[in-house]
Amino acid sequence: MAVGIVLVSHSAAVARGAAELAREMAGDVVLEPAGGLDEPGEPLGTDAVRVAEAIGRADSGDGVLVLMDLGSAVLSAETALDLVDGIDVALCDAPFVEGAVAGAVAAQAGEPLAAVAAEARRGLAAKTAHLGGDEPADEATPDDDDRRSWRRVELDVTNRLGLHGRPAARIVRTAARFDAEVRVADLDNGNGPVSARSLASVMALGVVRGHRIEVSAAGPGAAEVLEALGALAATGFGDEAEPEPAPPPVRTPAAVPDGVTFRGLAAAPGSALGPVRHLRLTDVPDPDGSPGTRDEEAQRLRTAVGDVGRELAAARDDAAATLGAEAADILEMQALLLDDAALLDAAVARVGEGEPAGRAWRGAVAGVVTAYAGVDDDYQRARVDDIEDVGRRVVAALAGVPVRRTVSGPGVVVAEVLGPADTAALDRSLVRGILTASGAPTGHAAILARALGVPAVVGAGEAVLRLDEAQPVLLDGDTGAVYVQPDRTVRREYERRQAAAGAAHDAALLTATEPAVTSDGVRITVEANVGSLADASDAARQGADGVGLLRTEFLFLGRDEPPTEDEQVEAYTAVAVRLGGGVVTVRTLDVGADKPAPYLRQAREDNPFLGVRGLRLGLARPDVLSTQLRAVLRVAADHPVRVMFPMVSSLDELDEASALLDRARAEVGTGVHLPVGVMVEVPAVGLLAEAFAERVDFLSVGTNDLTQYVLAADRGNAGVAALGDACHPAVLALVRRTALAARDRDRPVAVCGELAGDPTVTSLLVGLGVTELSVVPTAVPLVKQAVRATSYADATRLAEQALRRRTAAEVRRDVSEPQRAMTR
């Protein structure tokens, strides 16, 4: 509860404007405008009854401050006091607009009624000082007050796409955790300041890469929130490195090959051939057919917004379970738009002016869309699709019609644009490809299409909407080419490519559930890397022997608090059940300052890849790690699971983690044996493999990170990416050393990086002594087939030869010859 504020003015527009300004500055505070006469058109004047009703609405038990503009407004406010009973009301002689802002900030901070009134009266202090007037006696100067109340920090925006939806949402979520008012301004384009609790306002600032923002905070949590936002900024506001979007194609006749009817933007890789299936949106009747009173319309709007918010939250949870954390983040961003007080308040204000709920909501959304259209950044302008999608869903909810997009059968889905929730809800058994008239490769629908594994071309122009239903179309998600009624030559070439790839995979799939055994009798376990429940299901279908790497980050990211022990038990159990008895290797939380979870409050790091991440973070936050270990122990009582610690660099760290595991076992009260392993990512572990093999039950080589650490080549840096080849003899030497240490102590050793999923190097890894290969689910059948096509003796000779080479290129040449022989 807090002090409420009533603004009495002769003009309804002035009262609403002052309330809007104060609310923007203060955030969540009760402000009730009471302007104009309660007559059609709200003519100028004041109404004591209207003022009394506003006082009643503003009261939450802590009192109400009433501010008035002039003349009869004061008389109406005094008369209203006789019409209310049992409410502590203070009529204040503060300046109307400045007093509203200052009083609202004090009310939001939880100050009592008398203090709120005093702050309102000081509202003119800053203006008086600026213009050289006399300052009020016995009060702090504005400068002193400013230094005492506000803290400021300037932050660089370094992520490539600036403050688009998800980074802006992370700012909003972070600011909301602290007892402080927080504002953000762009120091380069002059936009702002805006409330950091308003997603739409932060996004509409137009902050792009290279800009510098000023974040200011006031309140008890000011220092802490600035520290947290500084740490967030150091990680690029949570953005992972993303590939540069494909440039728009050159639209000249010479650049369009024969048979290409349209050329759009490549959005998701792969090709698709099938009949056109237009995505039909359920017709939505006019939601304003029988509007009610203003209060009824405002309540109807709030109810519709709440209903859509719950739908999007459910879609977000489904996406987290089936598509992973990035997809869930996208849908959460849409849900946060609905939580944006600025958007809803703008719509409710329009209702207060006499507009029905549907028209008011569309007008408020149009205002946000207009702001986005003026942003000088293609990626951020692409967020317009997300905002318009939210707008449509609320209008449908107002009309009582569920938003459903349907297709008539399997084929290539064609639409003007797809919202994130629409894309996530697509039936993958029907959708062969996606073709849209508008949109961008950086749009959230395109990102989700890639997560779904559906080829997509976007931005192909409105002409695609005029394609006939069931008309044959072929799209190439790698180039953006779209062929309508492709001729026989084009069809045959695409069909040949698809058939060859499909036949190879299908042939391998026929025997995928069988063990992978070399021709001379050595069994190799082929498992799957899993990052969601959908991945686990796919792994089982592809014949995986188990899960060699369960990335548990899908449970921890995209939320404001860590998952509970019970949540984790449920998720790990679900994965184990899907694998039907195969061993599930649970990697403990592996995040760092480059991929932050807001509740971990990680400090800024200049080089997060060498900072507090993996097991280091787990030991720094034993509460989070211990909860995860208890969950794994509980699952181990009923299912074959093992636990693996990431980013280990010393035996001391392993000892600390083992002690936490022993404590967790005592807390759970179980004597179940839980196999423990470490990831070999840091070269120190490979060099001390013998010592580690004595202390753990298994070892797993993460070739992705090991390669970049051994070769000092950041895999996300295009300038040095060519150096980071895991087939480099130095990397292979550490794999071999690890495998020998494991063999001497009868321990299994796995490779779980991308190298393991390349069938051309399967024989090499087997020859190095690797006993387990953990790969993406779709690679399981082909890797198993590659194991069966080699002999352990030949593989050993190949490995010995590779270790004598000087470059990765030489190793690649060595492995290509046996692979060609296998496939002839």
Q: Give catalytic residues, as residue numbers.
A: 444, 752
- Quick one: DSSP state of residue 246? P
Beta partners for 472?
Answer: 275
Query: Cα dist. 216→101, 166, 219, 225, 542 in Å?
Result: 16, 21, 10, 10, 52
Cα atoms in the 13 Å half-sphere on the side-chain side of 803: 17
Helix (H, G, I), strand (E, B) or coil at 681: coil
* CB-based contact 685:644 (threshold 8 Å): no
Neighbours of 452 (CB within 10 A): 20
Helix (H, G, I), strand (E, B) or coil at 302: helix
Cα–Cα distance, 49 to 615 (Å, whole number): 65
Beta partners for 182?
Answer: 217
Question: Is the peptide bond between 269 and the residue preceding it cis, with omega within 30 degrees of 0?
Answer: no
38 — phi, psi (to 5°)?
Answer: -80, 70
Question: Positive or negative CA dihedral for 122, 126, 127, 132?
Answer: positive
Residue with tokens 């918010």: 309
Cα–Cα distance, 211 to 158 (Å, whole number): 8
Regarding beta strands 150-156 and 89-92, do their DSSP bridges make them parallel or antiparallel, or are they unpaired? unpaired
The per-residue DSSP string of 103-131 comes to HHHHHHTT--HHHHHHHHHGGGHHHHHHH
- Quick one: tokens of 173? 């979520």
- Quick one: DSSP state of residue 602? P
Return all residues near 123 (Cβ < 8 A) that are at least 6 apart: 94, 95, 97, 98, 99, 100, 101, 102, 103
Cα atoms in the 13 Å half-sphere on the side-chain side of 534: 16
Residue with tokens 């026989």: 488
Beta partners for 33?
Answer: 7
* CB-based contact 771:498 (threshold 8 Å): no
Neighbours of 111 (CB within 10 A): 18
> By C-alpha distance, which of 83, 78, 110 is closest to 93?
78
* CB-based contact 727:755 (threshold 8 Å): yes
Strand ranges in 431-544 using DSSP code E only, listed in sequence order:
431-436, 456-458, 472-476, 481-484, 516-517, 523-530
- Quick one: tokens of 545? 């022997």
Cα–Cα distance, 183 to 788 (Å, whole number): 62
- Quick one: tokens of 750? 């796995």
Return all residues near 629 (Cβ < 8 A) that are at least 6 apart: 588, 643, 660, 661, 664
* CB-based contact 244:261 (threshold 8 Å): no
Cα–Cα distance, 152 to 489 (Å, whole number): 65
Cα–Cα distance, 162 to 238 (Å, whole number): 11
